[in-house]
Structure 1
Amino acid sequence: MRIVQIIDSLNPGGAERMAINYANALAQRIEFSGLISTRTEGILSNQIESKVCYLFLNKKKRIDFFAISRLRKYLKKNRVDIIHAHSSSFFIAVLVKFTMPKIKIVWHDHYGTRVRETKKENRVLVFLSIFFYSIFAVNHELIEWSKKNMKCSRVIFIPNFTRFPKIVKQETNLKGNDGKRIVILANLKNPKNHILILKAFCELKLNEMGWSLHLIGKDYYDIYSDILKNFIKSNSLADHIFLYGEKNDIRYILSQSTIGVLTSTQEGFPVTLLEYGLENLAVVSTNVGYCSIIIKNEFTGLLFNPFSEFEIKEQLLKVVEDDSARMKMGNNLGQLIDEKYSEKKVIEQIILAYNKK
C-alpha cells in the first residue's frame, strides 16, 4: 500500500495535525507513506518523521499548473495508489486525477461547521465528490451530511487519534502557579469562542484564588483577537491571563497545566481533547460535535452548552474546587483515550477503510 496525505498548510490546526499523524504512523506500517503541503508550510513541519516522504508544492493560485505538474511527478515517481486529501486539498487531488485516472482519492472531512452548511454552499466539493473513492468523516453528523449531499456512496467514520512528536525542544514555560493553570489549545478565531472562558474566569474571580489562564494558538491580530485583548486589559487581568501564540511543544505545555478547556460553538472531532487526555488533565468541554461522545459522564470530564455562561461557570467551579475529583477525571479520560482512540486502534481501522470495496 502506497499512500500520500495532502493538506493545504502545516500551520497548527486539527486537520493539519491529523495529516501529519497519519503520515508518521503509516510510515511504520505500509510500503510507502508520504505527506504533501500544497500552499504554505508551518511550525508543524518539524514534526514530520524521517520515514515520511515530504513535498512542499508552493501552490500560488487556485489552479496552478506548475504545482499540479510537481504533484503528478511525485505521485508517479513514488507509485502512489491512494491520495488521502484532507479538508480543502481535495481540489488539487481531483485536478491531478484527471491526468492519472487510476489513482484513488480518499477525502477526509474534519470541518465540524459543515453540518450547518447547505449543499449549495459546498457546490464545488459536492460536484467533485463523484471522483472520490471514499469519504472519511470524524463524527456521525458529518457522516450523515455526506450521505445526504455527496456523490460518493462509500462514507466511513474514522475517529481521530493523537501522537506527540518524539523530539521537540521544550521552550514554552507557562507563567502562574503550579497546580493552578487552566489551558485552552485553540487558534484565536471563530468558532473557538475564547471570550466565554475569559468571562467565566473573570466572573468567578479565579485569579483571586491563585489560578491563571493560558491561551495557546495562532493570533491573527484581527477583530477577534482585539476583543480578547481588550477584555483582558479592561478587567485588569494581564497578570493572570496569558497569550502565547502558536507553539510546537504542546506536550511540555500540557505537562505544566492542570485543567484543559474547550469552548468551541462547532467542532468535528477535536484532537485537543485527546491531547488533554494523554496528559491526564481534567477537562471542561463544549458539548458540540464528537465531544459528548468522548466525554460521556462526569467521570471523564464536564460538558457545557457553549452558549451558556452559567453552565461553563458551574462546571469550571466544580473542577477548580475539588482536587480529588479533578485528578480522577484526568486519569479516567487518559485511560479512555488509551483504550478507544489509541494510534494502534485507529490506524488498524483506517487501513481496513483504505481497502474497503
Structure 2
Amino acid sequence: MRIIQIIDSLDAGGAERMAVGYANALANEIKFSALVATRKEGNLRNQINKNVPYLFLNKKRAIDFSALLKLRNYVRKNKIEIVHAHGTSFFTAFLLKLIYPTIKLIWHDHYGARVKQSKTNNLILVMASLSFSAIFVVNPKMKKWAERNLFTKKVVFIPNFAEVPHLNSRQTVLRGQLGKRLVCVANLKKPKNHIALLCAFNELQLYKLGWSMHFIGKDFHDGYSSALKDYINSNELHDSVFIYDAQNDIQHILSQATIGILASTDEGFPVALLEYGLAKLAVLSTNVGYCSTLISHNFSGLLFHPHDKEELKEQLHILTSNAEIRLQIGLNLHQKVMKTYSKEKIIQLLLQEYKSIKS
C-alpha cells in the first residue's frame, strides 16, 4: 500500500501527533508512508522519522491552486492509493479528490466537540463527505454523529495510541519540588479549561504544601492565555504555577511530574492521557469524550465533571494527599495503556481497515 497522512499544521496537538504517529509507524509496515503538512510547520516536524517522506505545501488560503497542484503532482509521482486526512485538512483532500479522483480518501475526525454541533455548523464537511471512502473517529459518540449527519457509509472507531518518540530529548527542566508537581499537557485554548485547574489549585492552597502546577502546550498569546496569566499575577502564584509553551520532550517532562491532569470541557480521545499512562503518572481527568472509558474511576485514575468546581477540588485533594492511591492508579493506567492502546495493536487495526477500503 502507498499512503499519505495529511494534516494542516505540525503544532503539538492531539490530531497532529496522531498524524505523525501513523506516518512513522506505517513506514515499517507498507511500501510507502508519507506525511503532508498543508498550512504550517511546528514542533512536531522534528518527530518525523527519517524514513518517512515529508512534504510541506505552504498553503496560503482556503483554495490555493499552487499548493493543490503541488499535492496532486506529489500524489501522482508517488502513486498514492490512499489519502488519510486528519481534522480540518479534509477540505484540501476533498479538493484533491476532485482533480485526482482515483485516490481513496479517508477523513479522520479528532474533534470531540463536534457531537454538540449540527449539520448546519458543518455544511462544507457534509458536502465533502460524499467523496470519503471511510471516516475514522476517536470515540463511539463521534461515530454516531458521523453516521447520523454525514453521507459516508463506512464509519470506524479507531482508538489513539501513544509511544515514546525516537527523539526523546531532555531539555525541559520543571521547576518546583520533586514529588509534588502537577502537569497539564494541553494547548492554551478552549475547550482545555485551564482556568478551572488554576482556581482549584489556588483555592486548595496547594502551593502552601509545596505543590506546583505546570502547563505544557502551545501559547497562542491571545485572550485565553492572557486570562490565565492575569489570574496567576493577581493571586501571586508566580512561584508555583509555570507556563512552558509547546515542548518536544514530553516524556522527559512527565518523568519529572507526579500527577497528570486534564480538565477539558470537550474531548475526543486525548493523547495526553495515554502519555500520562506511559509515564505511570496518577491521573485526574475530565469525564467527557472517551476519557471516562479510558480512565476507570478509583482504579486507573480519578474523574470529575469539568463544570463542577467542587468535584474537581475534591478529587484533586484526594490525589495530592494520598501517595498510595497515586502509586496504585498510576500503575493500573500504565498496564491498561500498554495492553489495550499499544502502537502495535492499533496499527494492525488500521491496516485491516486500509485493506478493506483499498479492495
Q: Which letter maps to 1:320?
A: T
- Cα distance in structure 1, aligned partners of 2:44 and 2:54: 13
Larger CA deviation: 222-231 vs 139-148: 222-231
The one-letter code sitting in structure 2 at the alignment partner of 1:275 is E
Give secondary structure in 1 for the equivalent of 2:244: strand
Alpha-carbon shift at residue 230 of structure 1 (Å) = 1.1
C-alpha separation between the residues in 2 aligned to 1:234 and 1:39? 37
Q: Distance in 2 between matches of 1:116 and 1:322?
A: 37
The Cα of 1:353 is off from its aligned counterpart by 1.1
Range moving further from structure 2, 23-32 or 221-230 = 221-230
Distance 1:137 1:158 in 2: 6
Unpaired runs of at least 5, structure 2: none
Alignment RMSD, CA only? Answer: 0.8
Question: Partner residue of 1:52?
Answer: 52
Offset of residue 168 of structure 1: 3.3
How far apart are 1:239 and its partner, in Å? 0.3
Structure 2 CA distance for aligned equivalents of residues 167 and 82 of structure 1: 28
Distance in 1 of aligned mates of 2:226 and 2:42: 24
Q: CA deviation at 1:128?
A: 1.0
Q: Following the alignment from structure 1 to structure 2, what is the Cα–Cα distance between the partners of residues 174 and 88?
A: 33
Paired position in structure 1 for 2:298: 298
Distance 1:67 1:141 in 2: 34
Unmatched 5+ stretches in structure 1: none
Q: Which amino acid aligns with 2:52?
A: V
- Residue of structure 2 in register with 1:163 after alignment: 163
Q: Which whole-Å CA distance do the structure 1 matches of 2:96 and 2:203 have between them?
A: 54
Rounded to whole Å, the distance in 1 between the matches of 2:101 and 2:222 is 43
Residue pairs, 1:266-345, within 5 angstroms: 266-345=266-345
Q: Distance in 2 between matches of 1:164 and 1:204?
A: 33
Q: In 2, distance between residues paired with 1:170 and 1:24? A: 21
Q: Which amino acid is the alignment partner of residue 349 of structure 2?
A: Q
Q: Distance in 2 between matches of 1:20 and 1:220?
A: 22
Task: Name the amino acid aligned to 2:346.
Answer: V
Aligned length: 357
TM-score w.r.t. the length of structure 1 is: 0.99
Q: Secondary structure at the match of 2:88?
A: helix
Q: Which AA in structure 2 matches 1:57?
A: L
Q: 1:356: Cα distance to partner?
A: 2.2
Deviations 1:64-88 (A, max 9, x none): 1111111011111111100000011
Match of 1:187 in 2: 187
3-state DSSP class of the match of 1:145? helix
Return the offset for 1:259: 0.1
SS in 2 for 1:98: helix
Q: Give the corresponding residue for 2:210.
A: 210
Q: Structure 1 residue 354: deviation in Å?
A: 1.2
* Equivalent position of 1:73 in the other structure: 73
Hey, what does 1:37 align to over in structure 2? 37
Query: Equivalents in 1 of 2:112, 2:127: separation in Å?
Result: 20
What corresponds to 1:153 in structure 2? 153
Q: CA deviation at 1:297?
A: 2.8
TM-score, normalised with respect to structure 2: 0.98
Q: What is the DSSP-based 3-state SS (H/G/I as helix, E as strand, rest coil) of the residue aligned with 2:161? A: coil
Q: Report the 3-state secondary structure (helix = DSSP H, G, I; strand = E; otherwise coil) of the residue aligned with 1:201.
A: helix
- Percent of matched pairs sharing the same residue: 53
How far, CA to CA, are the matches of 1:249 and 1:170 in structure 2? 6
